Homo-oligomer: A and B are copies of this chain.
Amino acid sequence: MKAEIVSVGTEILLGEITDTNSSYLAGQLPLLGIDLYWVSTVGDNRNRIVEVLKRAWGRSDLILVTGGLGPTEDDLTRESIAQTLGEEMKVDAALEKWLRDFFASRRFAMPERNLKQATLIPSAQALPNPRGTAPGWWVERDGRILASMPGPPAEMQRMWQFEVLPRLRPRLTGEIILSRTLKNYGLGEATVDEMLSPLLSSTNPSIGIYAKPDGIHARITAKGKTREEVQPLLDEMEAKSRRILGKYVWGVDDETLEVVVGNLLKRRKLTLATMESCTGGLLASTITDVPGSSAYFKGGIVSYSNEAKTANGVDAALIDKYGAVSHEVAAAMATAVKTRLSADIGIGVTGVLGPDTLEGKPVGTVHIAVDAPGRSEVYPRNLNFPRLQAKRLATTAALFNLRAILLDMG
């Protein structure tokens, strides 16, 4: 099935909003075995919308239209579809009732201009939109399908999942494509590429390597007639990759390091505390992004001054001797915060992120310490990157180091 996306909205052409709907839909279609050939963006201009729709109707089996379903004069998608197909728009009694009820339930009188949101053409069915006032259209004629969805991403995505997908599935015949991502940390992109090179020539499943902020992703992609046929291909390639990459693989697909670490802490019934300087609170904030993290995270110190370090149990003599950015002080920070907040494990992070060097240490110098029962480690890192990226990388490194130690605890 040959598909095309048409995205309607002058605000996209003015660069005021980014069209995330097209990339969302583009990511959905391979899973259905639908080939996407074109994406077009057009402004709120009836002639140009009709021109784009006519071309799409002439060359594609499935046309996904987003945007332009609002109540204002600028919203011209319905009118343009009707004109493209030579059909007439009429107010649908059921839609009108739904729309009036929608406004009544919010104690508003419905502005009359909203009435055009209750229209249909003979080839169209309405697609309900519980998140807004714009129902979509499902148009089927001449062996073609056109689905028109609202522009706000939350409304569009719900309509896609609950209205368009179920109508589309029974009409599909092609192959489906599934993918699975193995997330790695601690290896460079070229190293992962080299390690996985025996697998890279495989075409189904195939494997691709991508550098991402949380490490190197190996994405396995496979296709076939059904999910049942494709899953084993993914499983087999995942097993082969894991045999090669070993403990560097920390997660799959949407998993995050903070969730992986949180689960390990819960399973081992261990609590955690952090003292961080250069990451400035990002480590604690990342850990507490996980709902329920208060079960294992006791708290943290953002020791952005030496005063904050010594007030929380780091020996001032140690800072004098080795400097705040040192192996020794990182270790002392981990131990001090562990003791201070009665946690089982302490993490200490200290470093120089610039703009200037500190204590003669170059920008990018970072020490990460983990003080866990029966084991203390300090890891040196060189993270000479722009400030926010370096904060993120140091946070990821700290979580990855903690994970390694938790795994070794068996």
Task: Give the B-binding residues of A (Cβ under 8 A).
Answer: 7, 12-20, 22-30, 36-43, 48, 52, 273-274, 279-289, 291-294, 297-305, 307-308, 311, 340-342, 354-355, 387-388, 391
Measured CA separation A37–B191 after assembly (Å) = 45
A26 & B12 in contact (Cβ 8 Å cutoff): yes
Among B19, B29, B287, B308, the residue within 8 A (CB) of A299 is B308
Q: State in angstroms the CA–CA spacing of A13 and B13 once bound together.
A: 19
Assess whether B298 is in contact with A300, with CB atoms less than 8 Å apart: no
Whether A307 touches B299, Cβ cut-off 8 Å, given contacts A40-B40, A42-B38, is: yes
CB within 8 A of A302: which of B18, B299, B388?
A: B299
Q: Do A48 and B39 touch (CB < 8 A)?
A: no
List B contacts of A288 (CB < 8 A). Answer: 280-281, 302, 304, 391
Q: Is the interface of A mostly helix, strand, loop or mixed?
A: mixed
Inter-subunit contact A284/B298 (CB<8 Å): no
User: A19 — which chain B residues lie within 8 A by C-beta?
Assistant: 19, 22-23
A48 to B36, CA, bound (A): 12
Write out the residue numbers on chain B whose beta carbons fall within 8 Å of the beta carbon of A281.
281-288, 300, 302
Beta-carbon contact of B387 and A291 below 8 Å: yes
How far apart are the CA atoms of A387 and B17 in the complex, in Å?
25
Q: Which residues of B contact A279 (CB under 8 A)?
A: 285
Flag if B40 contacts A15 (CB, 8 Å): no
- State whether A307 and B341 are in contact (beta carbons under 8 Å apart), knowing that A274-B302, A280-B284 are contacts in the complex: yes
- B292–A355 CB distance below 8 A: yes
